[in-house]
Amino acid sequence: MQSPVPVKHFTPEEMTPIFEVMRRYGEDERNKVNNKINQHLLITIVSDDEIDQAKNWGGSFPNQFNKEQRLRFLLNERDHGQKGFNPGRELHGEVKALYSDQIKTLMSDFKNNQKTKYKYPIVLVYSHYIPCAGVPKLGYSCSEELMNYAKGNITNFIMLVAYSTTFKNTDEKRSFDFMRKGGINAFMRMPNGSYAHTLKVNPPNSIDVITRTFQREAYVCISKCFTSYQKDRAAITTYFINYLTYQCISKSKATGLFTELSKNQLKECLKKELDKNVGDDSVQSSKKNKKSVQYTNSYFQLCFNRSIEVSRGLGRPRSNLDEPDWEPCQNRNWNKIYTPPGPRRNKDKLSKMVCENRVESKESLLEKNKKPRNKWDAGQCFTFFHDMTLKVYCKKI
Ligand SMILES: [Zn+2]
């Protein structure tokens, strides 16, 4: 395998021919669909030889690029309706490409192609608009997603982005910050058709080391509702957290550390899982219990959301699924963090009482000095796991 191509190799003179080929290809494809929109995205993976040869291509890709399907052309999508991707807003091409494994497929094709398999992969992204950042209410930033994909992959590939302009709602500085962190070099097309190297950066050769994991933070937070020692409680709580986390990540296409998008997806899914798995105790059911279940649910949700914010990434159980010990995860694919079949609904493990807690107010559990807000907050609550359902009842004291 060829060693990494150094950044100094990618001069504007060297890059201009291939970027121009990419731009023309993207514009032609876009115009076939709709010539009233601006944005188009084209992704390909090439070797340094191919970049060199592009000046002799006569302005368009050689046939084998189409034949071997080495190009991915993407448009933004309105009304995509996809859960987890902010259905009410546009789905951008970068996110589509990353979360549907299109770049992954390009990469494995590159590595299996006789002509390129020993070459260092150079991922080229041409986007009319610079990969977005901080667009109000979009719920994700394409530049952050690209960073998350590229970060720490210097030995595997390098990513170069070219663009024509910046969308008015994009925070250009943030876009550059994300790309810089990912070691992504950026080139902007100038009015004379040449490209300026607007972001020159040496890729980092390692990914950030994190010490806090989401699951451990969630465990600490949820444990705050316990006031007395209870055998197996730690084990059951741990298993519960592992179970819910597994439900949310085993089919996820997210990778690496948290991004705005993957955090939103995880929060949304955990909320759904809590609604499914935190229930009322049928024996004790009453209006009052309903309130305490709602309360427990919202407290756990608060714990989860807070844990996502303070931890930056997921962990992998260090020993087994009921030991509250997670090692920060270097595994880049979320769906490979837990070894299948993962934590299952297991009656032996989950039918025992998990905690007898005195639930005060939500705030007081996090900051001890605040006073309970209402009578139910000051009640004595008992919480059980039964058939994988957390059951709670409270009595007034
Ligand atoms: Zn975007």
For the ranges 18-27, 244-253, 269-278, which has the lowest average pLDDT?
A: 269-278
First vs last Cα of the chain: how many Å apart? 71
Query: 132 C-alpha to center of ligand 1: Å?
Result: 4
Of 8 and 379, the structure prediction assigns the larger pLDDT to 8
The pLDDT value given to residue 296? 76
- Are 33 and 77 contacting, i.e. CB atoms less than 8 angstroms apart? no
Vertex 333: Cα angle to 329 and 336 (nearest 5) = 80
CA distances from 169 to 77, 137, 375, 376 (A): 17, 11, 47, 46
For residue range 260-312, what is the model confidence (pLDDT) as tens digits? Answer: 999 999 999 999 998 888 765 434 444 455 666 677 778 888 899 999 999 99
How much is the pLDDT for 103? Answer: 95
Does the pLDDT of residue 58 top 50, yes or no? yes
Q: How far is the CA of 149 from the centre of ligand 1 (A)?
A: 14
SS3 229: coil
Question: What confidence category does residue 209 fall into, taking pLDDT thresholds of 50, 70 and 90?
Answer: confident
Q: Is the pLDDT of residue 349 over 80?
A: no
Is the per-residue pLDDT at 379 higher than 60?
A: no
Give the whole-angstrom CA distance, residue 110 versus residue 229. Answer: 57
Burial per residue of 29-43, b for 16 or more beta-carbon CB atoms within 10 angstroms, e otherwise: bbeeeeeeeebbbbb
Mean pLDDT across the stretch 79-98? 93
**Is residue 346 pLDDT above 70, yes or no?**
no
Give residue 366's pLDDT.
44
The model's confidence at residue 359, banded by pLDDT at 50, 70 and 90, is: very low
The pLDDT value recorded for residue 153 is: 87
- Tell whether the model's pLDDT for residue 361 goes beyond 50: no
The amino acid sitting at 354 is V
Position 183: which residue type? G
Taking the model in full, what pTM does it have? 0.85
Ligand 1 ion local residues (Cβ < 5 A): 92, 132, 142
pLDDT of res. 115:
94
Q: How confident is the model at residue 356 (pLDDT cuts 50, 70, 90)?
A: very low
Average pLDDT over residues 331-342: 89
- The Å distance, Cα 281 to ligand 1 centre, comes to 45
Q: What is the Å distance from ligand 1's center to 101 Cα?
A: 17
Weakest-pLDDT range from 191-205, 315-329, 355-369: 355-369
Cα of 259 from ligand 1 centre, angstroms: 13
User: Tokens standing for 164?
Assistant: 């024509």
- The answer to whether 388 and 345 have CB atoms below 8 angstroms apart is yes
Confidence category of residue 133, pLDDT binned at 50, 70, 90: very high
For residue 307, which amino acid is it? S
Look at residue 140 and tell me whether its pLDDT is greater than 70.
yes
Closest CA to 259 of 143, 129, 127: 143
> Average pLDDT in the 109-134 region?
97
- The stretch 222-234 carries a mean pLDDT of 67
For ligand 1, the distance from its centroid to the CA atom of residue 133, given in whole angstroms, is 7
Query: Per-residue confidence at 235, pLDDT binned at 50, 70, 90?
Result: confident
Between 383 and 132, residue with greater pLDDT: 132
What's residue 126's pLDDT?
98
Please give the distance, rounded to the nearest whole angstrom, from the Cα atom of residue 160 to the centre of ligand 1: 16
Q: Which pLDDT score, from 0 to 100, does residue 377 have?
A: 42
Least confident of 78-82, 142-146, 283-287: 283-287
- Cα(364) to ligand 1 centroid in Å equals 40
Beta strands in 171-266 (DSSP E): 185-189, 195-199
Match 């996809």 to its residue by tokens: 82
- Choose among 178, 48, 171: nearest CA to 119: 48
Calculate how far, in angstroms, residue 89's C-alpha sits from the geometric centre of ligand 1: 11
Residue 127 alpha carbon to ligand 1 centre in Å: 10
Residues 6+ apart with CB under 8 A from 383: 225, 296, 353, 354, 355, 356, 357, 390, 391, 392
Q: Is the dihedral of CA 101, 104, 106, 108 positive or negative?
A: negative
In the reported structure, the alpha carbon of residue 293 is separated from the centroid of ligand 1 by a whole-number distance in angstroms of 39
Per-residue pLDDT averaged across 340-367, rounded? Answer: 52
The encoded tokens of residue 175 equal 């876009």
Q: How far is the CA of 145 from the centre of ligand 1 (A)?
A: 9
Q: What is the pLDDT of residue 351?
A: 35
Comparing 189-198, 326-335, 340-349, 376-385, the range with the smallest average pLDDT is 376-385
Cis check for the bond before 343: say yes or no (omega within 30 of 0). no
d(C-alpha 279, C-alpha 376), whole Å: 17
Question: What is the model's pLDDT at position 69?
Answer: 95
